[in-house]
Amino acid sequence: MVTQHPGEPATPGATAAPPELGGFLASVRNLPSAVGQGLSAAATDDEQRILDTIIPVLDQQLSALTFLLGQEAERMSPAQAVQTTLLLNVTAAQPLAQSAIAIAGDLQQPVAKLSLSDIVHLIKKVVKALADIFGISLPGIILRGIDLIDELINGALGVGAPDVGVALMQRHRLQMAEQVELERLEEANQWRLRATQEGSAAVSAR
């Protein structure tokens, strides 16, 4: 049996994943536990019962998601490795995820909860970009699951803090509206590109 050393690709001919990716995925994987501990510090018994239903779901979700990305990273090509490194560096993904863990350690102030929510929203964008680089065709149910990350985090952050919960809900609605609009623009651009290519092909065929 061949022993696979850390950092080595699991698939022959594949390229080792950038070390920054492992750090990013590890921080994302540990986020639910950090959030749970941070919120439990000042939670009442009733609030804790609510957290005990939300945090395990979030934990299971991020565990499955980071596992999927980790598995795909073991089969990445040299080009995907370059793109992954560029993405992680440009977005400062690893420091971003680490800052989320740090903020989660003290969530007593509303500004900390709002900041964490914003960071998680950015982390979600990095996750989607990684899936795109790895060529993962995400079915609608998985995409919906990724979108639920915000809702679960915001639900946990709003426990015992109604004003924060309302603010997070409003911000989430704006973010989702922005996402829908961007998806529409992307679809329109793809349609125009296909139309242009088909037109060029028709002219060339004459």
Kindly list the averaged pLDDT for each block of 10 residues, start to end, along the chain of length 206: 43 73 94 93 89 91 91 90 94 94 91 90 91 79 74 81 68 61 64 64 62
Q: What is the pLDDT of residue 63?
A: 92
**What per-residue string of b and e applies to 131-156 under the rule 16 or more CB within 10 Å gives b?**
bebbeeeeeeeeeebbeebbebbbbb
Q: What is the pLDDT of residue 10?
A: 47
Q: Where are the domains of the chain?
A: 19-205
Cβ–Cβ under 8 Å, residues 130 and 70: no
Which distant-in-sequence residues (6+ apart) come within 8 Å of 186 by Cβ? none
The distance of Cα 158 from the centroid of its chain, to the nearest Å, equals 20
CA distance 167 to 31: 21
Handedness of CA 82, 83, 84, 87 (dihedral sign): positive
Fold of 19-205: I/LWEQ domain (1.20.1410)
